[in-house]
Structure 1
Amino acid sequence: MTTFMTNLRARYAQRREHWAWYLYDFGNSAYAAVVLLAVYSAYFQNQVVGGANGTRLWGNSVGIAMLVVAILAPILGSLADFSGRKKRFLLYLTTITILFTAAMYFVQEGDILLGMVVFILAEIGYRGGQVFYNSLLPEIAAPEEISTVSGKGWAIGSLGGIVCLIIVLALILTIGGTEIVRLSFIITAIFFALSALPLFFIVDEKTKAQEMPPGENTFSITFKRLGETIRSVRQYGEFLKFMLAFLIYNDGILMALNFAAILGAVLFGMEQQQLIIFMIIVQAASVAGAYIFGIVGQRRGFRTALTQSLLLMIIAVIAIFFNTTITGFFMIGALAGFALTGVQSVSRALIGTFAPAGKSAEFYGFFAVAGRTSSFIGPTIFGNLVAILSARLIASGMNEALAEQSSHRWAVLSIAAFLVAGMALLMLVDEKEGRRQGQAATQPGAAVEAQA
């Protein structure tokens, strides 16, 4: 009886930790939904800056934040592994995100520098915090539970984004005005803070601090580990081919996400409440996409599922170029939401199939770091391309409003270019051979066989 009660209490404690971890994602996703996707991006482009220059500066802001995180991520990863204080660093970065999200309330028309700075700092906190948040997963879930717990966290996180958007939408519909749009950033900060609190009180950090090797420090061990990981994965040719494809098509996905609200506002004149409804539809469709493409991946192969989801995403992006109605844009958003989450979830699953037994964490770590190294390129290209095209169209005699619309419409094709190039490279990846290389690495003579 005593053993039964002990096991029951342990299981209850573990479930509490799971839910505390889920709730952090619930609030974290509210930040992504309101700031990145539906509200702040369009507010900054249209109200704070205005015109094609607003799109350029938004793209540059996203690019700067991504570049800083790309540089910091390996260092933060080493801190997570060696410090034994993941929650403390997560608290610092979460606090940065919450404070600077709330500070977006003070950004008004013409406050360009302030608008860029508060967003960049909030985004660095958000992206940097994910390193420590993800590193807590193995501490709250057994190896056989990690996939299930991670999937539930993603689903509950998506729900958090939808709930926060509904709250903001209700306020905009009942009160209206720019003031309530700015107030939505304070609401989002509070929403994130309240959702994050259980993790810091309930989750117990089980991994103790590791002793730093003699003569090493955080920076030296970071670069040493990166070198070891790169040398380790060089023998897995199919994995490296997949990573090259991922680096390219993932930029297309990021461009679509970061500029969706701006495209809706500029091309179709959508108001803030319409943009929020649009993003709710995108997020709802994404849940179905992740589920269905997961099934396709299990039954027909992950590369097949990934190719199909990329193809749907390309169709959605090209459809934006030809579409002229708000109704059409809503339909395209549903298709894009269905496809893009399939791309993201299946990409992660494919890494797992290529990783040798006992090296999945190393492969996922390389996947995360490599993904961040290029993530600043696409948004920066899109924003600057819009500005260049708009300037040339105005110089040719086109009026400013029409030039802004035309430049955004043509720039959409740059998103399609990244997706098409990435999919073309993906077609060169042999999933069966990648699995074989991973399985061979656990057998005697694996390195020689994998290189053959």
Structure 2
Amino acid sequence: MAQPSTSTPAAPLGIEKDNKRITTGWTFYDWANSVYPLVITSSIFPIYWGAVTADINSAPGNIVDFMGFQVPGSSLLTYAISFSFLLIALVSPFLTSLADFSGRKKLFLQIFCYIGAASCAGLFFFTKDTLTLSTFVFIAATVGFSGSIVFYNSYLPDISSEAKFDSLSAKGFSMGYVGSVILLVICLLLVTFNQELGIEKGFATRLSFLLTGLWWAGFAQIPFFTLPPDTGRPANAPRAEGGWVLNGFRELGKVWNQLEQLPNLKKFLLAYFTYNMGVQTVMYVATIFGDKELHLESTALIVTILLLQVVAILGAYLFAKLSERIGNTRALSWSVAIWGLICVAGYFVQAGWSFYALASVIGLTMGGIQSLSRSTYSKIIPENTPNSAAFFSFFDVTEKLSIVIGTAVFGVIAQITGSMRNSILSLIIFFVLGFIFLLTLRGKKLREDTLSTAFPGPPPASAVASTPAATK
């Protein structure tokens, strides 16, 4: 998502908007990099992580040594996720400002792409003897993925007319879904039929990480080839206030100050911050929970995750329809309440039909709560603010910080109590708080009439990148 400033960055020269070759090439980056969140974050990697830590120490808790600290293997993974997103939250404003004012979008897109892809490929060497190093490689992969998305999103207003933002962004998401599922199926076949292929299961699993990196870097050559070359920053382009290095943080500070004028927005962000801690944590730890607590077969877990992708699309559609009937905040309240019940059920769930039933409910509400959160936020920010992209950058940082806290709390409770079931149950606190904060918005007009005063001047051209379709 491009980060605007108080000055208007000059529009790139010589870029033809709605050029089919350019826009289609752009969507292929979604096809390329979406394999990371599906293969590495959600499915095969967490299962392999659990197997490696169990191999290191098969005693209850799978305590492992990480830089001199004795940590349960499952908690170490959640700590790594927490640290990754804390780092991303800190550098994201810097990156978004850089995307606007450096004039080197493609260069930085390539840098972060190769960092992420090379790190995924590097996980091929992940064994019980390389746990510490591989943890940092996993962190680098997460940073590479999130960093590249900043520059990828910032191309949208450059290559597309505003009327086609929604359709082009949707096409990118669809490409990412299809591409990631294709690779996950290939990886699943490798792991399932490893004996028929004459390779050891651990090797087949690590080969999946190598394929993920190669897929990501390989298909990224399509957008790298079709996107316009960097032209650098034009000499007559206006400069960011105080320089672009700190401009992103300055814009976030202005949003923070303006929240006092917008109590509804402040309440929603507080609600989102709390319930998103629970939602994102469940999504990140669900696989390792099924592996370590329920002792499910890896194949069953991966197939379940594949099905969840399909169910999540249905959930997003159903909750969108529900919001049309009863309103956004009511629909969100229902979704948050269901997530609270999911945590209670997660404490008691066992392997078998109850797990698959719970997974189906998670899939339905996962797609619904994410899409509704973005659309509600887009409806609640000031309609006439000249710098709405800064509001979406604030939303993005809020999301990442909630992941940091949620996954860290999950890991600490699991480490102290020795059971991830207790961690799952504790997440209900976040949903209860989120539900209460949402109730303060029930029956109110979401968008307030207060106009933005924190961002004087005409609307910047890059502010169009703040539309919900442009967020990733």
Smaller-chain TM-score bracket: 0.7 to 0.9
Change (3 A) 1:336 1:207: farther
Change (3 A) 1:85 1:388: same
Q: Aligned letter for 1:24?
A: Y
The reply on whether 1:162 has 2:181 as its aligned counterpart is yes
Partner of residue 44, structure 2: 39
- Please state whether the residue corresponding to 1:268 is helix, strand or coil: coil
The reply on whether 1:29 has 2:34 as its aligned counterpart is yes
Q: Where do 1:89-238 residues align within 5 Å? A: 89-175=108-194, 177-204=201-228, 209=233, 211=237, 213=239, 216-238=242-264
The reply on whether 1:441 has 2:447 as its aligned counterpart is no
Partner of residue 447, structure 1: none
Deviation at 1:195, TM superposition (A): 2.8
CA deviation map 1:334-363 (0-9, x unaligned): 210111121111111111111223443232
Q: Where do 1:8-407 residues align within 5 Å? A: 14-48=19-53, 51-52=61-62, 53-175=72-194, 177-204=201-228, 209=233, 211=237, 213=239, 216-355=242-381, 356-357=383-384, 358-390=386-418, 407=419
Q: Aligned letter for 1:180?
A: A
**Kept in 2: contact 1:139–1:205 (CA 8 A):** no
CA deviation map 1:376-435 (0-9, x unaligned): 111111112111112xxxxxxxxxxxxxxxx11121112222222222212212574322
Q: Aligned letter for 1:375?
A: I
Q: Aligned letter for 2:314?
A: A
Deviation at 1:215, TM superposition (A): 8.5
Q: Tell me how far apart the structure 1 counterparts of residues 38 and 240 of structure 2 sit (CA, whole Å).
A: 45
**Kept in 1: contact 2:252–2:393 (CA 8 A):** no
Deviation at 1:284, TM superposition (A): 1.1
Change (3 A) 1:428 1:17: farther
Partner of residue 9, structure 2: none
Identify the structure with the greater helix proportion: 1
Q: Which one scores higher on RCO, CA 8 angstroms, separation ≥ 6?
A: 2
Q: Tell me how far apart the structure 2 counterparts of residues 110 and 141 of structure 1 sit (CA, whole Å).
A: 48
Q: Tell me how far apart the structure 2 counterparts of residues 369 and 41 of structure 1 sit (CA, whole Å).
A: 25
- Please state whether the residue corresponding to 1:84 is helix, strand or coil: coil
Partner of residue 414, structure 1: 426
The alignment of Structure 1 onto Structure 2 pairs a total of residues equal to 417
Deviation at 1:35, TM superposition (A): 0.6
Deviation at 1:121, TM superposition (A): 0.7
- Please state whether the residue corresponding to 1:434 is helix, strand or coil: coil
Normalised TM-score (structure 1): 0.86
Partner of residue 427, structure 1: 439
Q: Tell me how far apart the structure 2 counterparts of residues 87 and 219 of structure 1 sit (CA, whole Å).
A: 18
**Kept in 2: contact 1:137–1:146 (CA 8 A):** yes
Partner of residue 458, structure 2: none
- Please state whether the residue corresponding to 2:362 is helix, strand or coil: helix
**Kept in 1: contact 2:312–2:365 (CA 8 A):** yes
Deviation at 1:109, TM superposition (A): 1.6
Deviation at 1:179, TM superposition (A): 0.9
**Kept in 2: contact 1:351–1:363 (CA 8 A):** no
Deviation at 1:264, TM superposition (A): 0.7
Greater shift after overlay, 203-212 or 244-253?
203-212
- Please state whether the residue corresponding to 1:324 is helix, strand or coil: coil
Deviation at 1:248, TM superposition (A): 1.2
Q: Tell me how far apart the structure 1 counterparts of residues 159 and 345 of structure 2 sit (CA, whole Å).
A: 43
Deviation at 1:370, TM superposition (A): 2.4
CA deviation map 1:226-258 (0-9, x unaligned): 322323343111111111111111111121111
Q: Tell me how far apart the structure 1 counterparts of residues 136 and 249 of structure 2 sit (CA, whole Å).
A: 29
- Please state whether the residue corresponding to 1:218 is helix, strand or coil: coil
**Kept in 1: contact 2:261–2:450 (CA 8 A):** no
- Please state whether the residue corresponding to 1:376 is helix, strand or coil: helix
Partner of residue 4, structure 1: none
Percent identical = 30
Change (3 A) 1:346 1:104: same
Q: Aligned letter for 1:162?
A: V
Deviation at 1:66, TM superposition (A): 0.8
Change (3 A) 1:387 1:46: farther
**Kept in 2: contact 1:251–1:377 (CA 8 A):** yes
Partner of residue 398, structure 1: none
